[in-house]
Amino acid sequence: MSETTIPSHVPGTSIDEQAERLLGRRDESGPIGLIINQPAETGFRCPVHSADPTVDPLETLHWSEYNATLWCELCDRDYPSTLCCPDLATAMSVFFRTVDEAIARDREQR
C-alpha cells in the first residue's frame, strides 16, 4: 500500500485532491448551485458529532465544495454524504446516484 501524503491544511478550507478528481467541484453558479436547505435540514448529520446533544448540526454541517460531500466545521473535514445520511435506504440511494454522476462526468471529460 502506498503512503498517502496529506497536503498542508488551512483551517476552514478543504483540500481533497481525490474528492476533486473523483467527484468534481460543486457548481455554485446559477440556479442549480442555489442552496435552499442546509444539510441538517434534510436529515444529514456529521458522522462524528451526530450523537453529541451540544452540537447544533444546523450551525456546523455545510455543503462542501466537492460534489456528494459535506463539510463539518468542528471536524474541519469533508465527509462523503453517504456517511452523513439519516438512514440506510437514503445512504444507498445517495451512493448509487453519486457513482452514476461520477461515471457520467468522467465520460464527458474524455
Sign of CA dihedral 97, 102, 108, 110: negative
Q: pTM for this structure?
A: 0.76
Query: Rounded to an integer, what distance in angstroms lies between the CA atom of residue 84 and that of residue 48?
Result: 9
Alpha carbon 42 to chain centroid, angstroms: 14
pLDDT digits (tens, 9 = 90+) for 9-54: 556 666 778 888 888 888 766 555 556 788 999 899 999 998 899 9
Q: How is the chain split into domains, by residue range?
A: 37-109
**pLDDT given at position 2:** 47
pLDDT digits (tens, 9 = 90+) for 10-22: 566 667 788 888 8
Phi-psi region of 43 (alpha: psi -120 to 50; beta: other; left: phi over 0): left
